[in-house]
């Protein structure tokens, strides 16, 4: 029986250079898609997957993330005294309390890479495998992490990474899996490579920001030498575990949006707007007037 996955690590210390100037003063994880910051979608997904402890690996310049995630008694009081108790309650319900919830903030002071960020969480995780969620990959659908944890338990996987198929010219943007065989939505792999040139990519199965990792990942990260971009890559440490604990890819059922890019953010916004009564009307009007303008 594999122990349940109890901890989720959220690496949120990155500078967000791909989205400047929006991220100059605002952490990229707090950029909203409609009225909800990216980090909230990731937290909701982790909660739906039954995660007990959330570990945020942040940076001292990004304290605003903590302010969003944690309950704000002063704001609650202020709203209540203005007769907005419903709103106060709604916010309190979505936020974590220091007493009732199991939430840790730890700092990654230097930008040494995703692998290093995950290593920073080591002293704060519960026993067993851990989940890693990259909040700028917004995944709509059935709850990617929950789906993946089910597949992880069924397949006795050591490390498991969420994957999707990408066009060959895009392999340079992702970790790419070296696939041996496929069994339904699970891919058996013997390694992965960080951001290979299209000609060198071992497959077109790209890793997106959801991982379930055997606890041995921390030892591997401790001895991991810098890889692509001179950073300690999570991809390299996972790849080294393929021969010992095993490695699998998981083709999730939902749709992923790269919200670290302008185009991805727009697509995510449009996708959510379609399902929001207030916004879908605006979208329809816009599409209609664009159609008329093009026909004229």
Contact footprint for ligand G1P (CB under 6 A) = 114, 134, 137, 174-175, 194, 206-209, 235
CB of 11 to ligand G1P, least distance (A): 9
Task: Determine the straight-line distance between the first and last CA of the chain, rounded to whole angstroms.
Answer: 65
Q: Which is nearer to ligand G1P, 7 or 171 (CB)?
A: 171
Quick one: tokens of 69? 């995630």
Place of tokens 């000609």: 199
C-alpha dist (Å) from residue 243 to 110, 192, 239 = 30, 12, 8
Phi, psi of 60 (to 5 degrees): -55, -25
Q: Which two tokens stand for residue 133?
A: 């969620």
User: Rounded to the nearest whole angstrom, what is the least distance from the CB of residue 252 to ligand G1P in the complex?
Assistant: 13
Nearer Cβ to ligand G1P (137/214) = 137
Cβ distance to ligand G1P smaller for residue 70 or 228? 228
Nearest approach, Cβ of residue 137 and ligand G1P (Å): 5
CB-nearer residue toward ligand G1P: 79 or 233: 233
Shortest gap between Cβ of 285 and ligand G1P (angstroms)? 33
Residue nearest to ligand G1P (CB): 175
Residue 17, token pair as written in the block: 């250079």
The one-character DSSP state at 95 is S
> Which C-beta is closer to ligand G1P: that of 79 or that of 249?
249
CB of 258 to ligand G1P, least distance (A): 7
DSSP 177-198: EEEEEEETTEEEEEEEEES--G
> If you search the block for the tokens 């329809």, which residue do you land on?
284
Closest contact distance (angstroms) between CB of 46 and ligand G1P is 17
Residue 18 CA to residue 270 CA, distance in Å, equals 20
Asked if residues 39 and 12 have their Cβ atoms less than 8 Å apart, the reply is yes
**CA gap 243, 61 in Å, rounded:** 39
Q: Which is nearer to ligand G1P, 88 or 203 (CB)?
A: 203
């Amino acid at each position: 029986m594999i122990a349940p996955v109890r901890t989720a690590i959220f690496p949120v210390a990155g500078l967000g250079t791909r989205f400047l100037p929006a991220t100059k003063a605002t952490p990229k994880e707090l950029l909203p898609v409609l009225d909800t910051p990216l980090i909230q979608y990731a937290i909701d997904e982790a909660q739906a997957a039954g995660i007990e402890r959330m570990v945020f690996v942040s940076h001292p310049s990004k304290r605003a993330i903590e302010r969003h995630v944690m309950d704000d008694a002063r704001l609650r009081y202020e709203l209540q005294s203005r007769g907005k108790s419903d709103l106060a309650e709604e916010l309190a319900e979505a936020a974590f309390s220091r007493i009732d919830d199991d939430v840790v903030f730890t700092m990654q002071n230097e930008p040494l890479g995703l692998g290093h960020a995950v290593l920073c969480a080591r002293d704060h995780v519960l026993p067993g495998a851990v989940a890693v969620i990259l909040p700028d990959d917004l995944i709509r659908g059935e709850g990617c992490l929950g789906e993946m944890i089910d597949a992880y338990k069924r397949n006795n996987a050591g490390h498991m990474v969420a994957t999707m198929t990408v066009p060959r010219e895009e392999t340079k943007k992702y970790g790419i899996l070296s696939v041996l065989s496929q069994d339904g939505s699970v891919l058996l792999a013997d390694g992965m490579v960080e951001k290979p040139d299209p000609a060198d990519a071992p497959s077109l199965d790209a890793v997106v920001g959801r991982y379930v990792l055997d606890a041995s990942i921390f030892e591997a990260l401790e001895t991991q030498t810098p890889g692509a971009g001179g950073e300690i890559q999570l991809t390299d440490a996972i790849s080294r575990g393929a021969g010992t604990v095993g490695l699998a890819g998981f083709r999730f059922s939902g749709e992923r949006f790269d919200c670290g890019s302008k185009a991805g953010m727009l697509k995510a916004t449009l996708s959510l707007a379609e399902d929001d009564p207030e916004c879908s009307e605006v979208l329809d009007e816009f599409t209609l007037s664009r159609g008329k303008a093009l026909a004229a």
